[in-house]
Amino acid sequence: MSQDPGTEIRPAAAELETVGEAPPQPAEVQLPTKAAESGQRPRHLETVMQIPVSVKIVLGSATMPVANVLKLGRGAVVPLDRKVGEPVDVVVNGRIVARGEVVVLDEDSSRFGVSLTEVIGISGPHRAA
């Protein structure tokens, strides 16, 4: 990198002093408001609570060669890696958050649901395959 004959290289801190800028101040900390203390959610949290997430229930998975996948057709059965009665994974945005049992909903016997049996903490990187 070449330098023009009349140009002086100075540290950025010295440049700030000549411009007269004050050094950056630490971020302001918000203290709990009356709304938060009374059990109401702050408005920004209410906005976050409205963000949609993808929820999937994973019954199991299978690995097979491409040739076998291409042979699949109507009526084909794909064996999964789980047995009947084993818990299914509840996956939110690609992360396993819970496990549960598949149940038939009382009000509409043509629909399934999941009864949670275990909620997984956020401590580990439980990513769904």
pLDDT in tens, 12-55: 444 444 444 444 455 555 555 555 556 666 778 888 899 999 99
Q: How many domains does the chain have?
A: 1
Task: Give the pairing type, strands 55-58 and 88-92.
Answer: antiparallel
The confidence band for 8, taking pLDDT boundaries of 50, 70 and 90, is: low
Whether residue 21 is contained in a domain is answered as no
Q: Are 62 and 79 in contact (CB under 8 A)?
A: yes
Range of the domain at 65: 52-129
Helix or strand run (H / E) with residue 55: strand 55-58
Whether residue 78 is contained in a domain is answered as yes
Q: What is the pTM of this model?
A: 0.56
DSSP for residue 25: P
Whether residue 122 is contained in a domain is answered as yes
